[in-house]
Amino acid sequence: MSRKVVITGMGVVSPIGNSVEAFGAALKEGKSGISRISFFDTTDFDVRIAGEVKDFDPGPWIDKKDSRKMARFTQFAAAAAAQALDQAGLAAVDGEGRRRITSDPDKTGIVLGNGIGGFEIVSESFKKLFNQGPRRMLPLTIPLMIGNEAAGNISMIYGTRGPAYTQITACASGTDALGQALDLIRSGRCETVISGGTESCIVPFGIGGFQMLKTLSTTHNDDPEKASRPFDRDRDGFVLGEGAGVLVLESEEHAKKRGAAILAEFAGYGASADAYHITAPDPSGEGGGRAISLALADAGLKPEDVQYYNAHGTSTEINDPTETKMIKTAFGSHAYKLKISSIKSMTGHCVAGSGGMEAVACVLAIREGFYPPTINLDNPDGECDLDYVPNKVQYGTINAAASGSLGFGGHNGVAVFKKYE
């Protein structure tokens, strides 16, 4: 029998709050973090809105010298990891003033999801290369831009010497990273893993690239809070967001031995590939439905044991009805009794950061007994006929929750969380 894996710490940097407390309060409030882009001039863009992280100061969490050598997505991950480790009681300041891990460093791993890397670094270095020549490029261009920079930096900050991986499966990266972390603990290779997802790509190159794919909302530039509207018939694309969600996972034995406060159980994970299209999900919903079923089986749960499903819910024409089919495929008639919501209606689509944030949302929902709303669900799409908790938070007992993520390339990842007994 595999070892039970539990969650002992969580951290968030997001468009709706830069702490777990602020994030949870915003979810209950149904607060939108979507606004006009402030990072650059959007005059020449069809898309002028995004879910920017606001008022972010890495100072309380990251040494200034370290922070200057990090891309924005790494700063997000490091700050969220610091919050999670503090809550878990696994970080302390050593004699040299450094924050260090207090668990066995050789049995502590890191698995973070990232889809794109340091986009702002890529953009800036290309600009310098083409305008001023190669000698004017940023000296740290390569180490700042690569996607594994976040895991590597957190390992160096805390002195962890177990595996340090980066999972890249596009928008499913954060959830898939958690699944890989689960396996590391179950196998006995690690006792503790810092895991989740992080992303920051709200730069001209990122917005322009997604704009050319015709995937972003363009009709709400003057009313940004209404732009992300999953499962609504008037949706016209997703809103790009940014941020990080990081959790501390431990074997139950390890957590109990040190007297840790256990937040929830990470009970199961499932993954599949659609083998269908580079950007679109398989419209039958079979691939995603199979990932849900695999996750439930891994958790030892029947469909009717789950009360809440955190949907990928991007607010795109194809994704939302397809995900509805996935849920029906896996849950059968119980799909109509599930509470389902997309917090991307509030945060926007934070790419690899989404899986980590949405895992945190599931744990908060279980612990505090609430179903986050899907805001802007004013005119439900006829093909999306399940209970998506429209517009206002609802309350109830949640013993088990699942979170699904779908990535470009046909990647499907699903994580299942349970109330800890």
Residues with a known catalytic role: 171, 312, 349
Buried/exposed 338-361: b ≥16 CB within 10 Å, e otherwise: bbbbbbbbbbbbbbbbbbbbbbbb
- Distance from C-alpha of 159 to C-alpha of 101, rounded to nearest angstrom: 6
Residue 284 is given by DSSP the state: T
Burial environment of residue 245 by CB neighbours within 10 A (0 to 12, 13 to 18, 19 or more): buried
C-alpha triplet 71, 312, 148: angle, nearest 5°: 25
Residues 6 or more apart whose Cβ sits within 8 Å of residue 165 = 109, 110, 111, 112, 148, 151, 177, 180
- Distance from C-alpha of 182 to C-alpha of 384, rounded to nearest angstrom: 32
- Distance from C-alpha of 174 to C-alpha of 395, rounded to nearest angstrom: 27
* Alpha-helix residue ranges (DSSP H) falling in 89-134: 119-132
C-alpha triplet 201, 206, 209: angle, nearest 5°: 155
Amino acid letter at 416? Answer: V
- Distance from C-alpha of 32 to C-alpha of 228, rounded to nearest angstrom: 9
- Distance from C-alpha of 48 to C-alpha of 55, rounded to nearest angstrom: 20
